[in-house]
Every structure is written in C-alpha cells, then in structure tokens.
Amino acid sequence: MRQMAADQSRERISIGDLFDTMGDRAISALMLIFALPNAFPTPPGTSAVLGAPLVFLAAQLTFGLKPWLPKVIANRSMRREDFETIVGRIHRWLAWAERMLKPRLAIFAEPPAEYLAGAACLLLSIVLLLPVPLGNILPAITISVFAFGILGRDGLFALIGFVMTAVSLVIAGGVIYGLVKAAIYIVVQWFA
C-alpha cells in the first residue's frame, strides 16, 4: 500500500487496484484495508468509496465465500495524494495491532464464530454508508478489530469486536433516532 501511495505516476488509486494488490488474501485483510481509513478523519466521500466494498466483503465473510467485487465498486477511485495521506495515518496503527495479535481463544475467530463476525460487520458496514454525523468512526474501528482478530486468529480481538458492535449500533441508532425526531419536529412546525 505504501508503494502504491508513493507511486507518482498514478493520478488516482481505485478500489480495484487495492483488490489486485491483495490478490487472494483473506477477506478480513481486504475488510481491514477498507475499514481502517474510515476510523480517522478523512476527505469527504471516503466512506462512500471505501464503505461499499465492505458490504460485499462482509456478506461474503458471513457466508464463507471467496472475495470478489463488482466492477461498479472496483472502478471507484480517489486521488493518489488522498490515498497517501490515509496510508500515512494508518501505518503506525497497523504496526501496533500486529504486535498485539497472538493466537488465543481461537474458537471466537474461526468458523462458525467468523460467520457471526461477518454478520456483525455487514450491519456495521451498512451503518458506515449512512450519512450519519460521526457515524463512521466507531463502526470502522469495530470492523477493523474484527478483521485483526480473524487475520491473527485472535479470539480476544473478536470478542472485543462483538462488544463494540453492540456499542456502535446503540450509538448510531441513537443518532439516527435523534435526526428523525428532529426532522419530524421541523416538518410539523413548518405545517402548523
């Protein structure tokens, strides 16, 4: 990823480029690539570009399928400079997580628990796509924690991911509920 970000000959980096770079790596590695940048403040539209593949990848993880992306998603791209900024921000976090991972409580990071993690990531990736203020960060972190857990066969990370899923969904649900209530109030006041 750092080589791709530093390649001055590229004007844009597409999701397909990332997908090709990962090759036949695990779905969780691809999910990590698409989720982790959303855990930090990023240029507007990044969650739309990187969030859509998460829906497909999480669904594939849920059902134990091999990774693939439709062309309409694979062709989405961002400026190389924006990609370079994102890679620079997430690099130290990736290094930290790699030091923390170790095989433990594997029952929570392997099938069938892996399929439940996929279902949780599917819900979170849908939340990630919604235009909810500050709604991207916690779901993205949670998906990243699941991805780390599955990659490292670290059940502790997977368990933390399940707890974070509940917290993420409660917070996102509260924000959405508040926005809907505010919209209803405004509409009622408008016609009153």
3-state DSSP assignment of residue 45: coil
Tell me how crowded residue 146 is: count the other CB atoms within 10 A of its CB.
Answer: 31
* Furthest C-alpha separation in the chain: 61
In a domain, 1, yes or no: no
In a domain, 162, yes or no: yes
Q: Kindly tell me if the per-residue pLDDT of 19 is higher than 90.
A: no
In a domain, 117, yes or no: yes
Going from the C-alpha of 166 to that of each of 18, 71, 139, 178, 190, the distances in angstroms are: 30, 32, 10, 18, 36
Backbone angles phi, psi at 78, to 5 degrees: -140, 165
- pTM for this structure? 0.75
Average confidence (pLDDT) over 112-117: 92
3-state DSSP assignment of residue 67: coil
The rounded distance, in Å, linking the Cα atoms of 176 and 161 is 22
Contact 131, 177 (CB under 8 A): no
Query: How high is the pLDDT of residue 111?
Result: 86
In a domain, 63, yes or no: yes
If one compares 134 and 190, the residue with the highest pLDDT of the two is: 190
If one compares 166 and 68, the residue with the highest pLDDT of the two is: 166
In a domain, 8, yes or no: no
Taking CA 103 as the corner, what is the angle to CA 99 and CA 107, rounded to the nearest 5 degrees? 140
Query: How high is the pLDDT of residue 100?
Result: 83
DSSP state at residue 146 = H
The rounded distance, in Å, linking the Cα atoms of 142 and 161 is 5
Query: How high is the pLDDT of residue 25?
Result: 54
Backbone conformation region of residue 40, classed left if phi is above 0, alpha if psi is from -120 to 50, else beta: beta
Backbone angles phi, psi at 181, to 5 degrees: -60, -40
Backbone conformation region of residue 23, classed left if phi is above 0, alpha if psi is from -120 to 50, else beta: left
Contact 133, 175 (CB under 8 A): yes
In a domain, 170, yes or no: yes
Please give the tally of structural domains in the chain.
1
In a domain, 10, yes or no: no
Query: How high is the pLDDT of residue 141?
Result: 92
In a domain, 6, yes or no: no
Which of 16-25, 78-87, 93-102, 176-185 holds the top average pLDDT? 176-185
The rounded distance, in Å, linking the Cα atoms of 149 and 144 is 9
Structural domain boundaries, residue 141: 15-191
If one compares 43 and 10, the residue with the highest pLDDT of the two is: 10
Which of 13-17, 19-23, 99-103, 114-118 holds the top average pLDDT? 114-118
